[in-house]
Each structure stands twice: as structure tokens, then as C-alpha cells.
Structure 1
Amino acid sequence: MKDDAWRNRYVIAHKHLTKNLHSVNPCIAQVLQIWWKQFNDLRLISMKDIMTTNEAYELQDFCFVCKRHIEAAGNVLTHQWIPTIQAVFLQGSKKRLIPEPKQAVKMKHFYNCLACIMTYNLQTLCLKSMKEFTDYVMDVGGNNQGFIINLGFQNEAIEFDPTFRQFKDQLCLLYDYLIDACRQSPRLETILYQDYTEATRATLKVYINIFFCKQSTSTKQSFVSLMSGLLFLMKV
């Protein structure tokens, strides 16, 4: 009798988890596999390509190349990652693995679960890209061959072109581009269902923890502090 009671409780719990624990859904599991197998090595800026020049960059040229990389990575997310996931869910819908629209509450929770996983993937991509970018910029004389700075003499003073302030503004702006590139992906349900239009299509909300950025040496904040120090020295 005890075994039967335990078995009944197990069956009930199993059915409840299978129905409500969306992270074990086969479609959700495939989303994780797709990222780690196909997109885990993706970076918003490929520092390997940046380093192939083996020579110093002009600031303007460096920023242009980085923006092209970010744009290309964004196209990979839009035209490869999202359609691949979309295909998985279309197949899952045929196999009745996805909640139907009439199950409004369950459907909402299901796609919130999916959004959390996709957002985590994008957040990881963003943080890894920021770290590798910062490591490269800081590694002057190593993998980074430096930047070309022209010297001029005006008003009885030596001037730098570009100025350190221009370096700070332009390089820090690239961090904003990195973050923005990860905030363009739509929530999948807004693509799968016709109830959503371009105007109502929500995007995945990628959040970059400011506290983490301030504590890490591989972040925008540490770079801003370094450049501010250089600006102070220049004023002296």
C-alpha cells in the first residue's frame, strides 16, 4: 500500500512538472543546444580579425571596422539564430509541444521562460564581447599594436590628434553599440503569431548589470576611469 501511495504521488508530481515546468520542454531544450553548438563562439567584434592587421589603427578606421563587425554579428542573430529557433517551434507546434493560444496563462508563462533563456544567451554574448574588446584595447604593445596619434603645434602648445577625449568618447561609444546590438532581437511569440504587428512587436530586454561593470576590470567603467586619468595627465 505504501508503494502504491508513493507511486501515485510520483505520477501526479511528474504530470504537474511536465505540464508546468517549461524549462524541460523539448523545444526549450533545443534552444539551448542551438546556442551552444552553433553560436557559442560568436562575438559582436571578432578580435581575432582585428588583430590580423599587425599594425596600429587610426581611431576612425578602428571604430569603422568595429561597427562593421557589430553589424555583421547582428545580421547573424537576425537571419540565422532567430529563424533557427523559429523553425524548431514551428515543428514543436505540429507535435503539440507548445501551449495553444486558448491557454493564455500557460502560453504567457511558456514564452516568458523562452525569453529568459534567449535573453541570457544575448547577455552572455554581450559581456564576453565587451570583455574581449576591453582586453584588446588595454593590451597596447601586445596584441594591440596601438593607435596612430598625430602631433601638432598650435598656440605655443603641442596638440594631439585625435585628442584623448576623442579616444574616450569614440571607444566608449562602441560599448553602447555592443549593448544595443543585443537589444534588437524580438520575442519569438511576436513572430509566430499574427496578433502582433511591427508596432507592437516587443524585443528581448537584455540588461547589463551596472554593479558588475563597475567591479570588473574588463568593462566600460574601468576603461572610462583609465581614459579620465590620461586626460588629467594631459591637462597637467
Structure 2
Amino acid sequence: MLGDGSENANSQSCTAPNTHLRECGTGLPPSAKSIHGVKKRRRRVIITRDDLSAAKQRVSREEFRRYFVGTVVKPDLPRIDVDLKGDREVNRYYYYIRNGVDAIHVAPLESKILDNISLLVPKTLWGYEVRDKLVKEIKDDFLLAVKRSIVEFVLKDFHDREGSQDEKEQIEMPENYIEQYHKHQLVIERDLYLIHTCVRQMLEVWIHCYVDFHLIDISVIEGQQKSWDLIAFQTLLTQQIERSRDYLKYSWFSDIQNIFLMNDRKHIVPSPLQRKKFKRFYDCVYKFMESQLLAICRQTMSQYMNYIFGIGYRNPGFVLRVTIKNRECVFDPPCKYFVEVLSSLLDAMLQAVSGFPRLETQLYLDWSGPPAFLKPKVSPVQVAVYKKQISALIEEQRVEPQTRLADFEKYEHLFNDKESEQVNAFLNDETKTFTDYAELIAKYHKLAFNITAANEPTIFMGLFEVSRKECLNVINGNVNAFKNALINRMVRDYQAICTS
């Protein structure tokens, strides 16, 4: 409204006769004043309220900056016509930082930060004077840095630009760049299948539903509080892997099939008649599906290895039983069996993501080509490294349980038939008296009690929970059998004496 009124007034006054033209156009050049009867078209400029407020705000800020700097830094500058543009950096960094900002407006340094700094200094170097000087120096540096930040913020001009537009690098575009742009765009849309609608939808389904999918349910496995029985552990993980494969087959693969069937109705999927394009498109889908299966397998293997090696806080360990077989004290199952079972689960994971048919062989009922399958190429080197790590772990963890087998060496004669032969010889000796029998029975009774009291049935050693209960039961059973044989012989002899 302000601009329209002023223009109307000027236009009316300037269309008057020549005598009046001198009064309204005193600022015109002589050549323009000599022209009579010619109307001058003036461009209408509409000034909005936002423009006026922005201009006023910028002018007020510039005046404030000039007055602020001049008053605090150089009091004589406002009274003298001096341009501050060339002297701006000097004003900022050499004068105003120290004198223009009051320290009461600066937040003090936190005591927690000072304490952390003090911890970095050895206590042998601490002294009252040294400490006070150091703290004062730190506070001064902190105060100076904050003042500098305040100054840079106050004196910063939002409208400053680094370099003019003319100094910027100009990019020369060819004359037919629009034609080339559309040409390359068509080539990309035709040949770059990673941005195809079907592939994008496959990626969306993967991100929303399967990106965190694993072949094993680690939450169920980590919920185990007691040590694992190796066979039970193998059975549980094998069942989980089989269920996960079925889920991938009937859910993940079916979701991808539905995406392509839906887009095929829209004629987005290449036709089998376009052999070259059809093959290239499904080769891209083939690699994309393989990459997803490969990601599932890798993540599951990594999660599985982290669990196996999380001894004590994720993995409660495995039960390692000590038993007697063939008159020897051995582990059941053997330690090498742990290596075989734990390594076989890695192979089961590989098999779970293999053998899926290629998508095009399932989409077209009249498919006449050879059967083809997805083959995620998990690095055999990485799998071998995992198996080697498992073998090294078992070999390391078996050392301590193996040394504890020496606890049963002193009882070896009780389960290798040596003691049994001696008892039979004692029973066949007719010269043995009642006292001899009583002493030997008391010996075996005390031995059975000492075996139970001196040997712990269960010992926790790293990865293994060594269960020696079965071995101790066998030894105690043999000792009690020897004692009972002697007692039975004494009873029979006593009965024979009484009846004679």
C-alpha cells in the first residue's frame, strides 16, 4: 500500500506540463528535462512488510555492532568517521575479548572437570602452590575461551559470504546436456536392476521382517541356567535350525514370490521372451536373494561363536562326566566329541541356507529350463577358522579337567580287578580268622566313607562342569561289594558252626 500510493502521486505530478516538470523532476539529467510531452514508464516495486522488517533488522544489527565495538574497544571511534571493516579482526581478538565481556556472565568451570584434570597429575608433584597455580591457569584459559566464543557469536554477520558469486567455480554444461541426461536415465532404468521396483520391494520386506532373523533363537539358548548336556544342546540347535529353514521357505521365499507375481500383472517384470533382459534381471535377483541368505548365515555363525566363547556370563558350560570304561577312568563324552558336535552345527547352518530354488523356476509353471538353486557362498576359510577356534578352545579347556583325573589314580586298584583278585584270594584262604575278616571289613567300610568325603562329585572348570559322581559311585560300589562279600562269608561260616 505504501509503494502504490507513492507511485501514483509521482506519476500524477510528473504528467503535468513542462513548467511543472521542473518542480517534480529537479533530480533528472538535463537531457531528460529537455524532453516535453513524453511519459516515463516507471517499474512498480512492491515492498512487503517482511522486506522492511528484514532490512530494518539488518541495519539495526550493523549499527549495534558498530556502536558496541566502538564504545567498548575504542571509545573514540564513534566520534570519528573510521571504517571498521578492515579492523574487525583486531577488534575481536586483541581488545574486546579481554575487556568487553564481563566475567559474571560466563559460566564457571565445573568442579568435576577440575577433579578429572587433577587425577592426571601425579600426587608426588602436588603442592599447595603448584595446585593453586595450575587451577588458576586452567580457569583463566577456560574463561578466555568462553569469552572468545561470545565475541565471535556477537560480531558474526549472518549475511557475510565467503567469496563472491563471481569467484565460484563455474560448471560448463554441454549444449545437449538435457538430451544426454534423459538418454542416460533410460539406460539406467533399463539396465540397472538394483533400482527396479521388485528389487526395492524385496529390500523393504527384508528390512521390515528379516533383517534381524537368525537360524537359532539365542534368547532361548541364553535362558539356560544349568550346564548343557552336549546331546541336548545339539538336539535343540538342530531343531531350531530346521524350523528356521522352514520359515525361510514358507515365509521369506513366498513373500518374494508374491512381490513378483503382483508386479508381473502390472507388466513390470521382464518377459521370458526377452531372453537377454530376462536372464540379466533374474541373475540380479538371484544375487540379491543369495546375499540375504548369506547375511543370515554369517550373522547366525557370529552369534553362535560369541555364545560358545562367552564362558561364564552367556554360556553356562557343558557337562563333562568322568566314568570308568574298560577298567580306565575316562571322560564321557570324549573331548574330541565336543569338537565334532560343535563344528557340525556350523555345517548345519550352511545347509540351512542352501538348496533354495531360483525364483524364476518357481514363478513360471511351464518352466522348461534346468533346475537351478541358490548357492550362498560362505567363505570356507572363515568356516575353517571358526572350527579351528572351537578345537583350540576345547583343547585349552580340557587341560585342567584332565589333570584332575589323577585324583582317581590312588583308587585304580579298586576298579581294575586287582583288589577283586585279592579279596577272592582272601576268601579262599582257610587260615583266615574271624579277627582278620573283621579288620578287613572295617578297612573297606572306612575306605568307602573316605572316598565320598574326600572327593567332590562336581567341579566347575571353565567351559566344563566336571561331574565325577558316576565314577565315585562305581568305586564305592566295588568297595561295598568287597565288604559285603566278606560279611556274607562270615555269616555262612558262623551258621555252619552253629548247626554243627
TM-score (norm. length: structure 1): 0.90
* Deviation (angstroms), 1:193: 1.2
Match of 2:375 in 1: 205
Residue 188 of structure 1 is matched in structure 2 by 359
Deviation at 1:4, TM superposition (A): 5.5
Aligned pair 1:222/2:389, yes or no? yes
Residue 184 of structure 2 corresponds to which residue in structure 1? 13
Cα offset for 1:234? 8.2
Are the aligned partners of 2:290 and 2:376 in contact in 1 as well (CA < 8 Å)? Answer: yes
Distance (whole Å) between structure 2 residues aligned to residue 92 and residue 220 of structure 1 = 44
Tell me what 1:159 maps to: 330
Q: Which amino acid aligns with 2:378?
A: I
Q: How far apart, CA to CA, are the structure 2 residues paired with 1:51 and 1:228?
A: 24
37-46 or 200-209, which moves further after superposition? 200-209
SS in 1 for 2:374: coil
Contact 1:187–1:202 (CA<8 Å) still a contact in 2?
A: yes
Q: Distance in 1 between matches of 2:352 and 2:290?
A: 12
When normalised by structure 2's length, the TM-score is 0.44
Q: CA deviation at 1:221?
A: 3.3
**Partner Cα separation in structure 2 for residue 100 and residue 62 of structure 1:** 49
Structure 1 stretch displaced more, 202-211 or 26-35: 202-211
Q: 2:226 corresponds to which letter in structure 1?
A: E
Identity %: 26
Given the alignment, which residue of 341, 349, 358 partners 1:178? 349
Alignment partners' CA distance in 2, 1:196 and 1:232 = 59
Contact 2:342 2:390 in 1 (8 A): no
Is the radius of gyration larger for structure 1 or structure 2? 2
What do residues 148-188 of structure 1 show as CA deviations (whole Å, max 9, x unaligned)?
11111345642111111111111111110000000032111
Match of 1:147 in 2: 318
**1:68-90 C-alpha deviation (Å, 9 max, x unpaired):** 10011101100100110100001
- State which of 109, 121, 132 in structure 1 corresponds to 2:280: 109
**Matches of 2:330 and 2:198 in 1, distance apart?**
59
* 1:72 equivalent in structure 2: 243
Q: What do the CA deviations read for 1:120-157 (whole angstroms, capped 9, x no partner)?
A: 11111001101111111112221111111111134564
- What secondary structure, in the 3-state scheme, does the structure 1 residue paired with 2:319 have? coil
Deviation at 1:214, TM superposition (A): 5.5
Match of 2:458 in 1: none
Report how far residue 231 of structure 1 moved. Answer: 6.8
Cα distance in 2 for partners of 1:101, 1:232 equals 63
1:27-84 deviation per Cα after TM superposition (whole angstroms, max 9, x unaligned): 0111111111101111111111111121111111100000110011101100100110
Q: Within 1, Cα distance between the matches of 2:239 and 2:178?
A: 59
Bigger RCO (CA 8 Å, 6+ sep): 1
Greater shift in the superposed pair: 133-142 or 66-75: 133-142
Instruction: Quote the residue 1:83 is aligned against.
Output: 254
Measure the CA separation in 2 of the matches of 1:146 and 1:33. 39
Q: What is the CA RMSD across the aligned residues, in angstroms?
A: 2.3
Structure 1 residue runs without a partner (length 5+)? none
Aligned equivalents of 1:235 and 1:141: distance in 2? 20
Match of 2:298 among 106, 127, 134: 127
Unaligned runs of 5+ in 2: 1-172, 404-500
Q: 1:36 to 1:109 in 2, by over 3 A?
A: same
Structure 2 residue 266 is the aligned partner of structure 1 residue 99? no
Partner AA of 1:73 in structure 2: S
CA contact (8 A) 2:357 2:371 kept: yes
Residues 221 and 166 of structure 1: CA distance in aligned 2, closer, same or farther (over 3 Å): same
User: Would the aligned equivalents of 1:56 and 1:145 in 2 still touch at CA under 8 Å?
Assistant: yes
Relative to structure 1, is the Cα distance of residues 127 and 103 closer, same or farther in structure 2, using a 3 angstrom cutoff? same
